[in-house]
A and B are shown apart, each in its own frame.
Chain A
């Protein structure tokens, strides 16, 4: 559904030296798929996601969605930032309704707002302002805000990165459920190997300087994913080895937790 062909993006740092954020990256994302991007800091994960969103343009190469070139942002590609970026002057329901308002379909579709509040598990908070919410709740709002447009693909840039371990596991389950219920194609950037295995169909491992996709691991665990089962542990070991080759140093390769 999304095709990324030979995409490169170069930035210039403050000294004027070129940084190859992405070098000749090619990738295909299939309809309904859950793909994770994982890799060391600075390997171009955010850059790639922004290119898919249309928030940024490649220096060379092309991106397509359903055969059409991606040139600018659109409501069919929802984006969730690491920091939820909710509008502080809008309540939860108003934040979620932005997409409908921006597209002038709020009047006909406002019944969707409570539906999506329910989908992300925020019943009872529709009138709260963002500063009255926890970090995890803010991310729920940001996800609902993107989903209400029924996007073809949902792009998540480390949405759980700033959350504590408990909230993160809770939200991982929410994301899994949402995906089951809506069937949306999802691309997730993460630092957390377990999170990638738990959620994804495929995991793209990236390397830095120049930013490239090094390897794609298929997650073939069809039953309920259990972090302590052998197939899960095996995949974790494989992914960590690849990441290790990619230059990521992990605190505890056996346990596979946080990158340092």
Chain B
């Protein structure tokens, strides 16, 4: 496979340094707007400007990095148009809020104010993020383990399939958040209640995907293996399960999304920590800037989570490179 054409297929936007320059200039313009136009709302805008300046510095540093130059530069150029648009959007939002009060507080804080909150509230936000991520990963990990185990059993063994599949089907269609009242009453802490709900969220969809993956193994794979001397154990671990790996990852990725949703809901309803709880608490004080700040963190956190899942996926499915998409 030609890695050169691979790169240009993935990063297909014009490879022009002018678009990159436009991206840098547009972020600089956002910073300039913030620095030059007088404030109408009272906001400490220095954090915002530091962030923009740091971002410009990072862009330029990446651009001039000699190592990895080729791929990195393709990537930078590819995202240049998007960054340019984002810079303009920030400038416009800044003008509409902090600089003019056209969009009113407290519901529409400007970008500078949200960045300010991210800095001033960093300790609380950091703790809340850690709590949320801890709950998320503990719950998802349990769900993944249970889901893979039951999925393999259902997909492989008739008895297990007979007894478990109907249960899976019925329990699987109930929205997990419907269990919140029960979970909060039964479990000693909201943490365990949260884990229970996250497990409910991920278990069934992963089990279902794994079972489907195992059942879809071509008969020829089994037959060929048996003529090569394989026993049932080999067929399960070296044929059926590897064949199910792509669907296992599809299951994990979709249930990660659903788990994130469940997580925020249970934190808003029942927990005493975490980003969902923080949103609720900030709302009670009408500090909508904090609500936005924690929404921003959620977005970034979930992108990172998906990125991590993708890294694992690409490793386990490296044999698929070039056959899909």
Contact = CB atoms under 8 A, between A and B. Distances in A.
B228 A55 contact: no
B231 A55 contact: no
Contacts of B323: 88, 131
Given A73-B223, A101-B238, A129 B228 contact: no
A149 B319 contact: no
Contacts, number: 70
Interface string B273-304: 00000000000000000000000000000000
User: Which among A72, A74, A89, A90 has the highest number of chain B CB atoms within 10 Å?
Assistant: A89
A140 interface: no
* Chain B interface residue bracket vs A: 20 to 34
B220 A81 contact: yes
B242 A79 contact: no
B226 A103 contact: no
Interface residues of A, number: 30
A260 B46 CA distance: 81
Contacts of A73: 223, 226-227
Interface string A162-185: 000000000000000000000000
Mostly helix, strand, loop or mixed at chain B's interface? Answer: helix
B319 A89 contact: yes
B238 A55 contact: no
Interface string A233-244: 000000000000
Interface in A119-139: 129, 131-132
Interface in B239-256: 239, 242-243, 245
Given A75-B229, A131-B322, 4 more contacts: A55-B227, A72-B226, A102-B234, A103-B229
Which 5 pairs, one residue from A and one from B, show the smallest C-beta to C-beta distance? A75-B229, A102-B230, A73-B226, A99-B228, A85-B220
Interface of A: 53-55, 72-75, 77-79, 81, 83, 85, 87-91, 98-99, 101-103, 129, 131-132, 142, 145-146, 149
